[in-house]
Structure 1
């Protein structure tokens, strides 16, 4: 999905609440404290390669290195490059200040839920995009449920969240700051 398609999808969803939820999850992703602290994991048969690539791009474009995810894999090949060789044992070292972002379109398998629960107990923030799995949603600090056949596809939700995570928050301009300051100083105006 290119940026034009994401923009069109945002326009279609403007009044649905989807964009607000995507922004909330995007802001939560950005709260990861340091590069390498955003761990991204999926189900054993569905590794989140696509979202990993999008978040990496958003991290680079928005100059937010903490947004570049570490892809955690179920069975990485021993001869894979180092960044593609990160296995589930990395979840055992998840700590406070790190974020575990879980993608599971179907019900998450028990071994994944156990590892998510362990990471939560060690202080990691748990975020998820899930397909209506109450157990995974219950473990997550914040989650978006994407029911099949809904308005937004699972792939579409990933695009919305990754784009929202990369949005650079704009500070109010000088005029807006001055206007706010004047409002505070002058207080409410009453007229007869």
Structure 2
């Protein structure tokens, strides 16, 4: 027999999550809160009248995130995901005018380079951008459009994996 020694509850939860994803299950009891909500929506076939769509975890927030939206394998990547969210926020919230174009290009390059260096963050940035472009109330702000522009740049380089691809 072969045994798998798991050193912590976090490591066990990550194994369970990745095995569940690999098996193609949409179990709602594994993964981050964001991942669980997406699985619930998938199980409901994306019912547009569901209150889940209005859950704060799935919608735009002005505040930064305190933990990644997706399950990541290390604390270093979790920290990087939180920094990535801040970069996305800066890209989305800073107005694009002539002097700021270089700033936006730099932010986009930085975020995309991190995701190319650490492929584990590719789903994360897509989920962050989808979250930040949903249900933003003030009109006449460029934020959602800029968020969608950054998402389009991401998708040109990599696609999110199931079940997040479904959100597009």
Q: TM-score, normalised by structure 1?
A: 0.31
Larger Rg: 1
Q: TM-score, normalised by structure 2?
A: 0.34
